[in-house]
Amino acid sequence: MSDRYLAFANSAVGSRLANALGLPRPVPLERMPQHGAAEAQGPTPPLAVVGGGDAAPLLRALARELHWLGVPSLAHAATLDWIGHANAAGTMSGRFNPAEGVRPKALLFDASAIASTDALMALYTFFHDTLASLDTCARVLVFGLPPHLAATPQASTAQRALEGFVRSLAKELKRGATAQLLYVAPQAHEALHSSLRFFLSPRAAYVDGQAITLQAPVFDVPPMRDARPLAGQVAVVTGAARGIGEAIACVLARDGAHVVCVDIPSAQGPLEAVASRLEGSALACDIAGPDAAATLLAHLATHAPRGLDVLVHNAGITRDKTLVRMSEAQWRSVLDINVGAPQRLNEALLEAGMLRANSRIVGVASISGIAGNRGQTNYAASKAAVIGMVEAWAPRLAQRRISINAVAPGFIETQMTAAVPFAIREAGRRMNSLGQGGQPVDVAETIAWLAHPASGALTGQVVRVCGQSLLGA
Residues annotated as part of the active site: 379
Q: What gap in Å lies between CA 154 and CA 157, rounded to an integer?
A: 5
Q: What gap in Å lies between CA 270 and CA 264, rounded to an integer?
A: 11
Please say whether the beta carbons of 386 and 363 come within 8 A.
Answer: yes
Q: What gap in Å lies between CA 307 and CA 355, rounded to an integer?
A: 6
> Which is it for strands 234-238 and 308-313: parallel, antiparallel or unpaired?
parallel
Which of these, 69, 397, 438, 441, lies nearest to 245 by C-alpha position? 441
Neighbouring residues of 41: CB distance < 8 A, sequence distance ≥ 6:
227
352: left (phi over 0), alpha (psi -120 to 50) or beta: alpha
CA distances for 412 relative to 28, 221, 317, angstroms: 15, 34, 15
Q: What gap in Å lies between CA 170 and CA 434, rounded to an integer?
A: 9
CA angle at 57 for the pair 55 and 62, rounded to the nearest 5°: 130
Q: What gap in Å lies between CA 21 and CA 120, rounded to an integer?
A: 38
- Cite the DSSP H helix spans in 70-211: 82-89, 121-130, 153-172, 193-199
DSSP-based three-state secondary structure for 21: helix
